[in-house]
Amino acid sequence: MSAVIEKESELTINTGAKRFGNTTSQVITYALVCAAIFLVPSIIDDAYLLNKFSTYLIMGMLAIALSLSWGYAGILNLGQALSFGLGSYCMAMTLKLRTVPVHTGSEGLPDFMVWNNVETLPLIWQPFHSFTFAVLAGIFIPVLFSMLLGWFMFKGRVTGVYVAIITLAVLVVVNLLIIDQQRITGGFNGITDLATLEVFGFEFDAYGSSAYYLIAIFLTICLFLALAITKSKTGKIFQAIRDHEDRVRYFGYDVANYQVFAIGASAAIAGLAGMLYTIVMEFASPTFLGVKISLSIVIWCAVGGRHSLLGSMLGAIIIVGMQGSLSESETFLETWTLVMGFVFVIVVLFMPKGLAGAVESLILKIKSRNQE
């Protein structure tokens, strides 16, 4: 039966693996891009640019995460920033507990707790003395949270736009909770004044190549893991579910389980990205799990091409890069948001499948001309 469905999905969907050529060439293209990413620090030795590119790569990871759940499994998760934010808070909590005592208030209590008249370290903070726990929490809290949410939604056969609404609503609720529970979370200001990350005596300087390489390594791992998932049988079923959920169900697959897995895998990547973001930005803020960033991820994927992991990643890097350079240029200081809006309109009108789709149809065109 699985053979049938694989065939079915390849026939019905003219996207995904088939559209982007055979696996070998795809792997090589992905590897070349990653190699280029690793070469950047040897060409550019500038603290500011490395720090900036580090944040771009993290946004790229977020786009990969959404491409996996939206582009492949058809789950438009508008709450992707939730996983991102939870990851970033986990990292911030453990780094906060490592700051110099005098900055941290009496008896090692984080400064904002002292300001909020908290007397003892809350229970939820205790395990974050362990760095290993924090790293695991930064991945598994978002994963478990998303899977639980996914389980409720998909077992209840919630689909399409309702998934988007529910995920967005949950994001807003958690965001409000974090701002409100400032005794534990630092509220509106977030968790600031953090220690530098140090693992096995090695310091990750937010402005140096060490943090950049750390992020590049995790980006590569995530990109290839995600690629492996999309190439596996599970990945094929994701695409089949995206294109025709009911048919997959008639074949006897438990659609909900696959969807829960997709949203969980996507949350793992986003959570990891969040932890890295805290290392680079040196603080965690409730805006990290804001609606704005969540919607931005959707735009990056739309511009880059959500059916391609690499396309989405490059879409994020290009858009964030453009935003950065436009808002920095004097000419566009007051109009840069307008220019960005214009770019989105153009892309959506003329490249409905994003940059990846445009590149691919270009290749097809050249190929067919050569064959004539």
**Which residue in 233, 289, 238, 366 sits closest to 83, CA to CA?**
289
Binding mask 62-101 for another protein (x = CB under 8 A): ----------------------------------------
Candidates 292, 349, 350, 369: give the one binding another protein (CB under 8 A).
292
Q: Give whichever of 55 and 159 is closer to another protein, judged by the CB atom.
A: 55
CB of 126 to another protein, least distance (A): 23
Residues 6+ apart with CB under 8 A from 296: 319
Residues 6+ apart with CB under 8 A from 103: 111, 193
DSSP string of 218-265?
HHHHHHHHHHHHHHSHHHHHHHHHHHHHHHHHHTT--HHHHHHHHHHH
Query: According to DSSP H, which parts of 44-129 are helical?
Result: 47-66, 80-96, 111-115
Bridge partners for 203 per DSSP:
198
Least distance from C-beta 15 to another protein, angstroms? Answer: 17
What is the helix, strand, coil percentage profile of the chain, to 5?
A: 80, 0, 20
Helix axes 47-66, 23-43, angle to 10 degrees: 160
The contact mask relative to another protein for 163-182 (x = CB under 8 A, - = no) is -------------x--xx-x
The residues that bridge with 198 in the sheet, in sequence order, are: 203
Is 103 one of the binding residues for another protein (CB under 8 A)? yes
Binding mask 210-249 for another protein (x = CB under 8 A): ----------------------------------------
Q: How far is the CB of 178 from another protein (least distance, A)?
A: 12
Nearest approach, Cβ of residue 256 and another protein (Å): 35
Residues near another protein (CB under 8 A): 21-22, 24-25, 28-29, 32-33, 36, 39-40, 43-44, 46-49, 51-53, 55, 102-103, 106, 111-112, 115-117, 176, 179-180, 182, 187-190, 192-194, 206-207, 281-283, 285, 287-288, 292, 314, 317-318, 321, 324-325, 327-328, 330, 333-334, 336-337, 359, 362-363, 366-367, 370
